[in-house]
Structure formats: structure tokens, C-alpha cells
Structure 1
């Protein structure tokens, strides 16, 4: 992510600072509830973009860690095979040495003489060459695997640095959000949405067959739970964490990142939408689970709770069906 640092600096310095500065035309003017809401929504949208970048990086790191583990599993047996082959060749060399020196005179005096000795030495030489070829093959494979592991270790180190950069950027935005939440507390009496009444969160899910039905029922069960960055349940979710958790409950694996989910699903048209499908929004910074009737269930943004609402909540990028 070459431009990551510039992006974070731009959001943290330009965007957030501007959002927190009161208009200069009115001295000591108190921001209106509408102004506070707009500021919070702007900051939440910026935070969500950073969180989704963090989620994407975390998915990449998990993939590379698994690859390193698979390489280590392959390297171990190869090393054992190569060591055994070296021991076999050493034994052959010892036998060849004894056959070619101390026992040479005795072999020449026996029936068959030098011809029998040459036959035996030729067989030993052939076996030795075969063993050496095997060793060469093993060591070449080892070098290839070790080179690949080195490459992955470098990738993991680079991604760890990027993760620290994302974490620093996220903390800066959360600090700005904390200030805005304090103003919201003064205006509304609460920094975040209060939990919805139990009756409102126990709305019955529609009858949907198959795995899509499991995902839809899971999403209904998440209504009223808070938005929590980088979380995929059960006590809180971000947007891609909710869709990932819903489909995990249905036995399907989706990466915890909106862009990766967009790449993983089959793209469909609006007229093909069915409950359980995913609705992606412009810029691939947000995703919701379609539940029918033109509505989605999604984890909106920091300070809010999971809810069901009309799917045209922002410009739509496209629609996806989990395969």
C-alpha cells in the first residue's frame, strides 16, 4: 500500500481537523444537532475505510501465515530424506573403498578375478550416482522451499509494519471521534445509540430455505448489537464482519473484508436479488446482507447498532451471491 501513509495523513490532518473546527464566522457558536450528526457521519465513514483496509491486511497476513506453515510441513520430511540419502551414500562409499583397496588382491586371486571385481565396483558406482542424484533433487527442492519461506517471511514483516501504520491511523481517527461523541453526549445525552428495546430486536426472520436462510436468521439475531471495528461477533460487528459471520454460520467462508468479499461472490443483477445475497456500496467501503423486501441488515458505523433498513442507503456498487 504505497499511498497508505499519505492517505492516513490526509484523513487525520486535513479531513478530521477540518471537521472539528467550528465555523469562524460565528464566535462561540454551539454546533446544532444536525451539524454534530454530519460531523460524526463524516468521521465514521473515514474510520470505516481505515478499518476495512486493516481487515484486508489481516486477511492477507492469515493467508501468508498458513502458507508458511505448509512450507514448514514440507521442509521437515525433505530434510529427513536428504539426511538418510547422505548416510546411504556414505555407507556405499565405505563399501566401495574397502572393495577397491584392501580386498582388491584377494578378489584378483579368486575365480573371475578382475572381471568380477570390476562388475561389483561398477554396480556400486551406479548405485552411488543414483543416490547422489536423489540428494541433488532433495537439496534443490529444499532450496526452493526455503527461498519461498524467506519470501513469505519478508512479506509478513512488511505487512506487520503496515498493520502498525493502520493501527496508528485508526487510533488518530478514534481520538477525533471521541471528541465528537462528547459533543453528541452534550446534545443528545448519549455518545452512541442506546440498545433497541427487546421487542424491536426480536423481529422474526422470513422463512428462507437452505444456507441463505441460515445466514438471514443469523443477521436478524444480530440486530441491535453495536458496531465494533474489526469484529465479527458475537457481541459486535463491523459491516464485513457481520456478513462474514452470517455466512460462516451457514457453513460458508467469506473473508472479513468488503473488497475481498466482492471478489469471492458471484456478481448478479438487482433483479436477481434474493435473501442472503450481499449488497455492496460505492467504493466497496460498505456491505450489507439482503433480507428481502428491498431491505438489508448491516452494521452501519461507529456509535450505531446493527439494524434493518432500506437497501438504497447510499449509492450501490453491485450485488453478490455467495457461492
Structure 2
């Protein structure tokens, strides 16, 4: 007799269980790798949390500048690709017109037929008429030869333009891939910093953020005198005070550090490159004791942060996520160099 017992329900097959365990281990490993010490971080002191948060935010800013550079390259590659595609389309139209003209010329010759010059002379009742026709035929032949040569040149140029477009497309895709990678790095670093901050009490977190902000004395003071375009750049930076740090942004609603300096000098009529790594080479290098309002001041060994000098040993800068555009002392961060835009 067939059994009517209800089969046992299995919550997980062995392979499913192994997969679940592997995923759990992978997730735990990811957290450990990202945050450094896993469960040990629960025992970090507020000072250690601050140091780790500072590290993550600095790594995020470095990745932001790399993202800015990759995005800038992608934007330029996209613009160049669009221009090459437009050029290829125009050249294709001209090439097709030349081919059509050449085809019409050949069709006309075929329909009229060709007769050997000696026979044309024999059949002609007037040698003068023959010579006139021969001259016309020669000129027509020259036009045909020139048209054939033009078609060949246009075909070669079109192949060249299409090859350049293919190279630009490859560069665009590479830059897009790099930008996406750096964007993920930024998000991971900032998320890691947020997780650490979430472990603190409200009072500890407030003290940590206050310590990060440093001494704001003199933040409401006026800038040292500046002239010309530098004055316009400084004025723009002052108008940006209080606006949020937004990574990858160049205003007007938010900025990252190099986005603020680029926007300030753009308002003064000067086009700066997009990243700290390229802005430091814009204009003339100046030493710390030569700083004047409007100069770009760079910080950290990797030249990953920049602010706009306003005089009296101070800068206006976009510090980091969660901290709005503000005034700070040049002495607050490790000085890496300065440049005066032309």
C-alpha cells in the first residue's frame, strides 16, 4: 500500500546552506576589509573614531578628485566623438555626391559611346570641328580624372575620421569605467565613516564634529584687498559661504573643493582645469610667504585638497561631506603648494 505520510519539509538544501554561509562570510569579510578591524571597532575610543573617520573622508576626497579627472576626460572624449561623428556624416554626404557625379559621368560616356580619334578625324567633314571636339573631350577627361582623385581622397579622409572616432569612443568608455570605479570608492569610504559615527553617542558625535571643524575664529572677517580678476574670484568664494559640500559638483548649489575654486575663477573670466592635480599647474607657482588673495592653496602630500586664499593666512574652501563652504586657516592642514592663476 502506498504511503500517505506527508514528506518532510527541508528548510535548506545542503548546497543552498553552503551558498548562504558563503554569502554571510563574504559580507562579513567586506565589512572587515572596509572598516579595517570588524568587531574590534566597537571598542574604538572617540579619538580613534575621529582618526578613522578623518582617514576615510580623506580617502573619499582623493577618490573624488580622481573621479573628477575621469569624468572630465569622459566629457571631453564625448564632445570630440560627437564632433568627429558630425564630420564623418558631412564627409559621407560629400563623398556620396561625388560618387553620384562620377557615376553620372560614366553613364553619359557609355550612352554616347567612344570612337577612336583617328576614325573620328576620318569621318569628320571638317578638321576644325574634329579638333574642337577633341579639345572638349580632353577637358571632360581631365574633369573625370580630377573627380576620381577627389573621390579617392575623400574616402581616405573618411576612413581616417572614422578611425579617430573609434579611438575616442574607446577613450570615452575607459574614462566612464574609471569614473564609475572612483565613484564607488567615494561612496564606500563615506559609508564607512558614517557607520563609525553612528556608533557614537550624540554628545560624542557633536564633540568629534566640532574637533573636525577646528578653530573658526575670524571666519566672519573681511578679505585682504584684492584687485582685478582675483578680487572677483574672492568675491565669488565669499558668496558661496554656507553652501553644501557635494562631491563632483561645481556649483552653484554645492561644490567639492576643486569645484569651488574652478567656479570662483570662472566667474573672474579664467578657465581652470577640473582637479586639484591639474589646478596646481595652472598659472604661476608661489611660495607660502608670497600668498596673495585669489591664489590657489593646496594641501596634503597627494595634493588632494584646495582652497582659495583670501588673505590674513586664511582660505575659503569646501571641506568635506557634511561641512559647508567655510573660512579656515592655512595652518589647519598640511601645506602642499600654491599657484596664482594667470
Using the size of structure 1 for normalisation, the TM-score is 0.82
Structure 2 residue matching 1:127: 3-state secondary structure: helix
Greater mean alpha carbon deviation, residues 130-139 or residues 165-174 = 165-174
Larger Rg: 2
**Counterpart in the other structure of 1:245:** 263
Q: Is the 8 A contact 2:197 2:205 kept in 1?
A: no
**Counterpart in the other structure of 2:96:** 83
Flag the 1:252–1:175 CA change in 2: closer, same or farther, 3 A: same
- Select the residue among 194, 198, 206 that pairs with 1:178: 194
**Counterpart in the other structure of 1:307:** 326
Structure 1 residue matching 2:322: 3-state secondary structure: coil
**Counterpart in the other structure of 1:51:** 64
Structure 1: how far apart are the matches of 2:67 and 2:85? Answer: 27
**Counterpart in the other structure of 2:282:** 264
Q: Is the 8 A contact 2:92 2:158 kept in 1?
A: yes
State the Cα distance separating 1:224 from its structure 2 match: 2.9
Mark the runs of 5 or more structure 2 residues left unpaired by the alignment.
1-29
**Counterpart in the other structure of 2:335:** 316
**Counterpart in the other structure of 1:64:** 77
Using the size of structure 2 for normalisation, the TM-score is 0.78
Q: Is the 8 A contact 1:224 1:307 kept in 2?
A: yes
Structure 1 residue matching 2:332: 3-state secondary structure: coil
Quick check: 1:278 aligned with 2:331? Answer: no
The CA deviation string for residues 269-310 of structure 1, in whole angstroms up to 9 with x for no partner, is 334321001012221111111111121111222332322222
Q: Is the 8 A contact 1:203 1:220 kept in 2?
A: no
State the Cα distance separating 1:192 from its structure 2 match: 6.0
Flag the 1:160–1:59 CA change in 2: closer, same or farther, 3 A: same
**Counterpart in the other structure of 1:111:** 126
State the Cα distance separating 1:80 from its structure 2 match: 2.3
State the Cα distance separating 1:239 from its structure 2 match: 1.1
- Select the residue among 206, 211, 216 that pairs with 2:229: 211
Quick check: 1:32 aligned with 2:45? Answer: yes
Structure 2: how far apart are the matches of 1:171 and 1:205? Answer: 35
Structure 2 residue matching 1:283: 3-state secondary structure: coil
Mark the runs of 5 or more structure 1 residues left unpaired by the alignment.
1-11
**Counterpart in the other structure of 2:239:** 221
Q: Is the 8 A contact 1:100 1:121 kept in 2?
A: no
Quick check: 1:123 aligned with 2:142? Answer: no
The CA deviation string for residues 86-127 of structure 1, in whole angstroms up to 9 with x for no partner, is 222223223333443499988833423654444333222111
Quick check: 1:290 aligned with 2:303? Answer: no
